[in-house]
Structure 1
Amino acid sequence: MMLFHHRNRDRNADTRRVYALFEIAHTAVDFLAALCFLVGSVLFLFPAFETPAVWLFILGSVFFMAKPTLRLVRELKLWRMGKLDRLARRETGDP
C-alpha cells in the first residue's frame, strides 16, 4: 500500500472518517492562514500596527507550514490503518 493513494481513504468507514476529519482540519488551517495574511496586509497600511502585522504574517506562515504536515500525518495514519487491516486478515485467515 502506497502513501498518497486514493484507495487508502476509501478502504472502509473508519478510513473515510479519518480522511474527512483531516480534510476539515486542512481547510480550517488554510482559512486561518489566509485570514492572517489578509488582516496583516491591512495592518501594514498603518505604521502604528506594523508589529502586529509582522506577527500575523509569521502566524500565517506557520499555518501554511502546517498544511503539508497535516497531509503527511493523514497519509501515514491511513497507511498504518491499512497495515493493521492486513495483519487482522492474516491472523483470522481471511484473504
Structure 2
Amino acid sequence: MSEINLDNEKPRKIKPENVILALDIGTEFVKAVIAERTEDDNLIVIGVGKEHQNMGNMYAGAIADIPAVVSTCEKALSNAEGMAGVISKTCVVGIAG
C-alpha cells in the first residue's frame, strides 16, 4: 500500500488494486489521470499529467510516430504518478484526434 496526503489531510493507505489510470492520447496532448476507487465505488482523482504532442506525432487521429508518442505518454504518466505517489496496475486508454 502507498500513502497519500492531499490538502493537509492525514496520510492514508491506498491499496494498489484500488488505483486506476486513464490515458488520453490526442493529436495535441497526452493526458493522464490517476484515481483511487473508494469503498462505495466512487473515484477520487489523486494525480494528473499533461504533455504536448510534437507536430508529426499524430496525423488525423492516428499515431504517425510511435516512439515519439510513447515518449510523450511516459512524460504525462510520470507527472501523474509523481503527483499521486502511486503507480497504477490498471489502465484505460483512449486514442482520438
TM-score of the alignment, normalized to the shorter chain, above 0.5 = no
More strand, by proportion: 2
Greater radius of gyration (CA): 1
More helix, by proportion: 1
Report the TM-score range of the alignment, normalised by the length of the smaller protein: 0.3 to 0.5
TM (normalized to structure 1)?
A: 0.33
TM (normalized to structure 2)?
A: 0.32
